[in-house]
Homo-oligomer: A and B are copies of this chain.
Amino acid sequence: MEKASTSIRSRSRRPAADLAAALLDAAAVEFAAHGFEGASTRRIAERAGAHQPQINYHFASKEQLWRATVDRLFALLVVPDVAAAPDPASAFAAGVERFLQVSASHPALNRIVNQEATAPSSRLDWLVATHLRPLHRLVAAAWADVRASGAGADLPADEVWELVTTYGALRFANAPMLALLEIPSGTEPADAAEHARRVLSVLGLAPAPGSRPGRR
């Protein structure tokens, strides 16, 4: 599409950590747009302003680069303040909003997950075992707390997971398609917050900034 800078940086002119980070940023974009098999290390390197063999130097292989990219994206989901919410319902709502904020600002996360989700592969096995299953467990436990506190709609935890990861996240992951359909899908924090409100409303956790949860 477009050159990273004017051309490739001259010579050994960047701290190694910076280059690794630039490669990971570029890899996220390319893997998200073309999938693992469709993405090319040449284009990733070009986007990062580097030469293609640099990838094999800093990462062992294309697959290792992919894993490092995924690790970096999922790390954005860990919330700094654990359990700083007054009740299970607002804690859950805060988690959903956090997820959607990251989904809006880093659409590569859900794009990569959905690219892998449609076919069995060693990458999908790793993705589920390393990242998705722990998250899924966390969400299930948190939803059980919400329900035990009397809040939330009468939905099983798996339905909640599906609603949040599909209806919640795809608005940002599929932004190029929605734009062509003229369905507005802003990615500013305020847009993500508004979308989170809609998702939470389906979950029976209506506005909930203060309290007053259990609706339905």
Residues of A within 8 A of B (CB): 32-38, 107, 111, 113-120, 124-125, 128, 132-133, 136, 158-159, 161-163, 166-167, 170-171, 173-174, 176-178, 180-181, 183-184, 198, 202
Contact = CB atoms under 8 A, between A and B. Distances in A.
A166 B103 CA distance: 15
Residue among A107, A116, A163, A180 with the most chain B CB within 10 A?
A180
A163 B181 CA distance: 15
Interface of A is mostly: helix
Contact of A111 (B118, B124, B176): B118
B180 A124 contact: yes
B32 A35 contact: no
10 contacts: A35-B38, A35-B115, A111-B118, A119-B176, A128-B181, A132-B180, A136-B181, A158-B184, A163-B167, A166-B166
Nearest to A159: B198
Contacts of A202: 202
Contact of A34 (B119, B158, B174): B119
A176 B34 contact: no
Given A115-B115, A118-B33, A166-B170, A181 B38 contact: no
Contact of A176 (B117, B133, B158, B163): B117
B174 A117 contact: yes
A183 B161 contact: yes
A1 B119 CA distance: 11
The 5 closest A-B pairs by CB, nearest first: A37-B38, A117-B177, A33-B119, A117-B174, A166-B166
